[in-house]
Structure 1
Amino acid sequence: MTTTAIPTTREVAATWFEALTTGDIERALSCLADDVEWINYSPVPGYNDAMAWIGTYRGVAEVLETFRVFSGIVEVNHEELVDLVVDGENAMGVIDERSTVKETGRVFEIEFIQWLKVRDGKIVRWKSYTDPSQILRALPRR
């Protein structure tokens, strides 16, 4: 009988970030637990709710929908993992991203942190942190 080893937190995080930064969404989604808790900022009405992809979601299908919404609004020009810290079931990746809002043509550059919680070889919780002011500046004024 062959036993497949469960990937470590570092292995899952490395796979996640490599897939994410190369645009391999299918591979990235394969790192997520079926019922992943996905927290992409907290919407604040009148402040950052113009970022239509943010909020708290549950499950791979809802995460895929947020990617679809994001990619409909934003074109990622460059995304790079600049630091990765792993401690037990937690991993934190620092991402440098330069993107263009399609409707306005305005570019934004952000550094954001993704905090992953990994159990049984899958990401069970994902939360992002950044200063959204550059994104908001690039979005259309409504």
Structure 2
Amino acid sequence: MTRSTRETAAGWFSALTSGDAARAAEHLADDIEWINYAPVPGYNDRMPWIGTYHGPAAVLDSLKVFLDMVEVGKEELVDLVVEGDEAIGILHEKSVVKETGQSFEIDFIQHLTVRDGKIVRWKSYTDPSQILRAIDGRAA
């Protein structure tokens, strides 16, 4: 039996917010398209984990780059909206850039497309200015 869009999204966000990468990866389709912002040279390219990736291995590699640079303090799902094969999760995160010790706090949206109980497309939206400030070592 295939998981519903809501079950898939809820499982993904539960694994993600608890830091369980292996369980999170189980929700990704083999042909996933992962769109984590668009790099803009001279602006957000100091966030080396962003970009578009294909396949679970590439996604996990980009998450590793993020986790090598950032200590996630708290990440929680604030709201989940599901319609058909689309799900939108609104998350709140408080984290610290390891190199600078500077914290940041953001709200971000993950837009998921689910097919056959797996996430086939993932796209993230946020204002990265707080992350960039913390990377540059500037206090809030």
Same fold (TM over 0.5): yes
Give, in whole Å, the separation in 2 of the partners of 1:102 and 1:50: 14
Q: Does 1:74 align with 2:70?
A: yes
Instruction: Flag structure 1 segments of 5+ consecutive residues without an equivalent.
Output: none
Show the counterpart of 1:48: 44
Show the counterpart of 1:36: 32
CA drift at 1:140: 3.2
Give, in whole Å, the separation in 1 of the partners of 2:100 and 2:85: 40
Give, in whole Å, the separation in 2 of the partners of 1:36 and 1:97: 24
**Counterpart of 1:7 in structure 2: which amino acid?**
R
CA drift at 1:51: 0.2
Spell out structure 1 runs of 4+ moving beyond 3 A. none
Give, in whole Å, the separation in 1 of the partners of 2:90 and 2:4: 19
Show the counterpart of 2:109: 113
Percent identical pairs in the alignment equals: 66
Correspondent of 2:131 among 101, 125, 135 = 135
**Counterpart of 1:33 in structure 2: which amino acid?**
A
Give, in whole Å, the separation in 2 of the partners of 1:86 and 1:92: 6
Show the counterpart of 2:83: 87
Give, in whole Å, the separation in 2 of the partners of 1:39 and 1:59: 11
CA drift at 1:35: 1.2
CA RMSD of aligned residues (A): 0.7
Give, in whole Å, the separation in 2 of the partners of 1:75 and 1:41: 20
Asked if structure 2 preserves the Cα contact closer than 8 Å seen for 1:17 and 1:81, the reply is: yes
| Secondary structure of the corresponding residue to residue 65 of structure 2 | helix
Task: Map 1:12-23; keep pairs closer than 5 Å.
Answer: 12-23=8-19
- Encode CA deviations 1:92-133: one digit per residue, 9 max, x unaligned: 000000000000000000000000000001000000000000
| Secondary structure of the corresponding residue to residue 68 of structure 1 | helix
Calculate the TM-score normalised by the size of structure 2.
0.97
CA drift at 1:19: 0.2
Q: Which has the larger radius of gyration?
A: 1
Instruction: Flag structure 2 segments of 5+ consecutive residues without an equivalent.
Output: none
Question: How many residues matched?
Answer: 137
